[in-house]
A and B are shown apart, each in its own frame.
Chain A
């Protein structure tokens, strides 16, 4: 069992990180904490992808030094890390930042309107605002 965990510990790490993030998103009542959870969650996926690209046995970063000047020779694939997950994650990082940005904008909007970022307080405030209106309609 332990061997099995160690052989693939990268996956275990990402899963645990992801669980932390997911728990924060679902279990926390503070909206900023939820957002932080979301970021942890996204980061864990990025780590997962990047770890796919690893090649053991001396592979190095996917930059071909000394190959750039016109003539080229064959490259040994085993010496270069898999570049594709890196590319994908560059995009995913940007997506994650963009999402965070929009979420923060929404949070600012919420704060402007309710003066708090605790979900319970916001719900209570909304309920309090709705109650007198309902009473007006009833009468």
Chain B
């Protein structure tokens, strides 16, 4: 059906950041410039490797790299299809600005244990790309668990009481979820004898409906914890104790998206749209997602801590993605998958802004930001762009994905969920615009500098870049990284296969 290209590029893309992590540890705190050099070199190489796979995948081919046989019939295999590539490209692309931004951030704040920080960061990226390129459930599970563990040192980075508690909560949620996933994967393997992702699913006809539903719940709960689906969302706001670049890349892009990615893989590549329709379970799933969308939006309104507010916005958007995919209509799936990319660019901008504000002024509450826009206009401009995008205002990229989500809801004939998506957009406006308003139009507080006094350039440039890309992708969705084409390919694979 699809041509397969054998190549080690997926493996190299995974390993390059792992190798960088080892080099970072070996270099240590004594030579920080060399150490950061490794990070940036790895980020660039990884980006090159991942992007080099785009033309192949757009030509309708699948890039495969088989390594070891783990179980009879199950290999450790990296297999790059359109959907996986999308996530891989996002993670690899956003690692570059985050690397620069991180360096600025930790040096400005003079953070401790920087080697550990960069090591864990590189390891996270390795495993996130591993999740993206995993060719079967077991490989996915392995990378996913590595990601879980690699994130922990970042969450507890500050080593104070709040960080340790946040870390514990994070571990309790994610490790329990991982255990559930293990059970679900084992049962799937016992039933089907295979774990290879197949567009359109492979599980149909292997078990009675009741068992399949149970399996579905286990899978969605397992991946849903990282995706922040309610009621499993609680760890995410708590984990905001982590340094901001961590929140930016991991809690907006890599880790939580790995959860969403896993959910989508299970929905579309393990169960498959047809089986989900037969079981009728998609409605329950969509209901949970819709509830999360609205509830997270409402909860975000009540947060004064900027990063916590962003965290709830993340929960809201992740649920939106899942809602789109669960609606199972062509446009809804396209909107959901596209939103993975679009949300990543917008949310990382927002976190970058929050971090820049904190690094410069040590302010992290919404109510403290009065008039700060005059001191940090670039930061606030970027923030505004990203916030507009998340609210679905053109010409930012968020508009495109929300548009398709709405179309998809109509296509599926689910007007209730259309209403949910629109409500969510309004909630976005409601919790973002006070921040912008405070920043630009409120009377400045006495401690705000009257002149432009931004965070270091190494932090401002990345955040402006990601904001600019958000706009670019809003105007030309297929520019540079071909997100739109890749998404179309993924949708065709799932629905056509």
The answer to whether A and B touch in the complex, with CB atoms under 8 Å apart, is no
Question: Taking beta carbons and an 8 Å cutoff, which residues of B are in contact with A?
Answer: none
A residues at B contact (CB < 8 Å): none
